[in-house]
Structure 1
Amino acid sequence: MDVFPDFDGLEGIGDLREVIGALLTFVLITAVLMLIVCAIAWAIAAANGNHSAATKARVGAWTALGAAVLAGGGVAWMNWLIGLGQQL
């Protein structure tokens, strides 16, 4: 008796790839838009001497940048894991 994994036991991996890819793309687009908005708010607040608003906008810009990096890396990581899983 041979023991071998059942590769047909998990259906819908293509659907999973599409759903997760679409969600991560939505997060990436939102993060980039928020990065642009926060950078503009940071520039305007700094130019007008409003240090409190400039600090909040700077924190928002760094947070949006981090979210964009994580979302972009998440797409690559998810594709790598699905590709690795198909090779097993």
Structure 2
Amino acid sequence: MDVFPSFEGLSGIGDLREVVGALLMFALITAVLMLIVSAIIWAVSSGTGNYAAATKGRVGVLVCLGGAILAGAGVAWMNWLIGIGQQL
């Protein structure tokens, strides 16, 4: 038995997909830009001996990586959940 969600049951679902895709792209671009800024801050502050700013730069790099991973893996996770739902 094939059980699959009906994405055509709601009006405007195509517009919703476009909006979600644009938001994911915006999130990924923002994460990459902030990753670059945080890495520069981490490198410069480590080189000048400002360890408080280096710690903040390192935390910024880790948060940006986490955000990019979550935003990029959202679609794959949803497809995995749909696949699991078909097996039930």
- TM class by smaller structure: 0.7 to 0.9
Aligned length: 80
Distance 2:17 2:27 in 1: 15
Distance 1:60 1:71 in 2: 16
- Give the Å deviation of 1:77: 3.6
- Structure 1 vs Structure 2: percent identity of aligned residues? 71
2:52 is aligned to 52
Q: Structure 2 vs 1, CA of residues 11 and 34 (structure 1 numbering), >3 Å: closer, same or farther?
A: same
1:76 is aligned to 76
- What is the RMSD computed on CA atoms of the aligned residues? 2.7
Answer with 1 or 2: which has the greater Rg. Answer: 1
Could you give the per-residue CA deviations for residues 42-82 of structure 1, whole angstroms, max 9, x where no partner exists? 00000111101000110011001100111111233456678
Distance 2:25 2:35 in 1: 15
1:15 is aligned to 15
**13-22 or 26-35, which deviates more:** 13-22
2:37 is aligned to 37
Gaps of at least 5 residues in structure 1 are 1-5, 84-88
Q: Is the 8 A contact 1:42 1:53 kept in 2?
A: yes
